[in-house]
Amino acid sequence: MKNLIDRYLYDVTKRLPENMRDDVNRELRSNIEDMLSNDPNEAEIEKVLIDMGSPAKLAVKYHPKPRYLISPELFDDYLTVLKIVAITLSVLLAGLAVFKIVFGDIGGEYAIATAISIIVSFLTAAFTGIVQAFFWVTLAFFCVEYFGKKNGVITWSPKNLPELPANAKVVIKSSDTIANGVFSTFFTILFLAGTLRHPQFIAWYEVGAPTVPLFNEEIIRQFLPFYMFIIVLTLFLMFFKLVKGRWSVGIAAAQTIFSVFSAVLGVAIITRPGLFTDAFIARFAEKVQVSAETMTEYFSTGVTVLIVLTVVGAIGEIISAIRKTVKNYK
């Protein structure tokens, strides 16, 4: 019978710092025994223990330190930072993982198997990114909590007040930013995988004839470092936009640099002679019953159109960024 009380006391004191365990044990035991008759039966003991309440809750009242990891005042900031870092990190790691596949010629000839392995590593890496973000952000906030409170670092002052939320026209919607970042990264990687892997998936498929790839692998490979750079820039820009949430001179400048760089890259690639494989042009010409030269001319016209679209698109992005920034400062 005594056992119930012993076990209760153990459950309470095991949650307390070592230096107070013995004393609390003695004190609480004598308090509980005072509430019982001289030779209590089990039912009586149980009733008193139930009145005392759950050991976990009681231990919280005895414990000298507050029982939470992240304090309520820091919690909102914690969630915000967590969201941004988790998204950025998972996109980054997912991109890297897929790159590894593009570089290494793992897997066999089957396009479907390769595609599945790309998707699986994308998802796994994205998940890893989220888990890592959780760990590091939580650790960082715990440190701020612990060391900051010790040294009284967390003081608020009117100087630290945030800017007013912008009106709708000037806010950068985070869902747009994220969708944009994720999709452009994903499609760039898919494009690179499709052109650099063996067998290449971006190609002309025809039953009974060998698959003819569209892009010249050599040329794409030469541009690979630029593509990697663009992906990194995309992620940086996405991160900036998420953190700031509104247009500013800094973000407009970053957007301009990015748009210019990707337009230049796009134009440089498109105008490279020999970008499209001769085999593809020949096959296409055959099917449409024109000569290879005529087809090449059509391709050139197409390229010119693409150049115009790319440049116009970039200019449009830049003008839009500038206008929104100006509105912000009004």
Partner 1 sequence: MRMEGDKMIDQNLLANMMTELRRGTLSLAVLSQLHTPQYGYSLLKCLEEKGIQIEANTLYPLMRRLETQGLLENSWDTTSARPRKYYVLSDAGREIFEALKLEWQSTCDGINRLFGEEGQ
CB of 262 to partner 1, least distance (A): 59
Task: Find tokens 């990190």 and name the residue.
Answer: 89
Nearest CB to partner 1, comparing residues 62 and 236 = 62
Task: Find tokens 């897997």 and name the residue.
Answer: 107
Q: Which position among 7, 14, 57, 173 is part of the footprint of partner 1 (CB under 8 A)? A: 57
CB of 69 to partner 1, least distance (A): 22
316 binds partner 1 (CB under 8 A): no
Give the integer Cα–Cα distance in Å for 294 and 117: 40
Close Cβ partners of 88 (under 8 Å, ≥ 6 residues apart)? 235, 238, 239, 242
Close Cβ partners of 179 (under 8 Å, ≥ 6 residues apart)? none
196 binds partner 1 (CB under 8 A): no
Q: Which position among 51, 150, 160, 164 is part of the footprint of partner 1 (CB under 8 A)? A: 51
Nearest CB to partner 1, comparing residues 57 and 198 = 57
Total binding residues toward partner 1, as defined by CB under 8 A: 17
Count of C-beta atoms within a 10 Å radius of residue 43 = 7
Nearest CB to partner 1, comparing residues 11 and 33 = 33
Nearest CB to partner 1, comparing residues 30 and 175 = 30
Return the closest-CA partner of residue 90 out of 127, 138, 137: 127
DSSP code string of 191-207 = HHHHHHSSS-SSEEEET
Q: Which position among 5, 9, 45, 58 is part of the footprint of partner 1 (CB under 8 A)? A: 58
Piece of 52-60, 81-89, 102-110, 245-253 that binds partner 1 (CB under 8 A): 52-60
Q: Are 189 and 95 in contact (CB under 8 A)?
A: yes
- Tell me which residues in 59-118 interact with partner 1 (CB under 8 A): 61-62, 64
301 binds partner 1 (CB under 8 A): no
Q: Are 24 and 18 in contact (CB under 8 A)?
A: no
Q: Are 214 and 123 in contact (CB under 8 A)?
A: no
Q: Which position among 17, 53, 165, 302 is part of the footprint of partner 1 (CB under 8 A)? A: 53
Give the integer Cα–Cα distance in Å for 255 and 181: 13
Q: Which position among 18, 34, 39, 109 is part of the footprint of partner 1 (CB under 8 A)? A: 34
Give the integer Cα–Cα distance in Å for 328 and 330: 6
208 binds partner 1 (CB under 8 A): no
Q: Which tokens in the block code for residue 13? A: 């004191």
Q: Which position among 4, 24, 303, 311 is part of the footprint of partner 1 (CB under 8 A)? A: 24
274 binds partner 1 (CB under 8 A): no
300 binds partner 1 (CB under 8 A): no
Q: Are 296 and 278 in contact (CB under 8 A)?
A: no
The binding site for partner 1 (CB under 8 A) comprises 24, 26-28, 30-31, 33-35, 51-53, 57-58, 61-62, 64
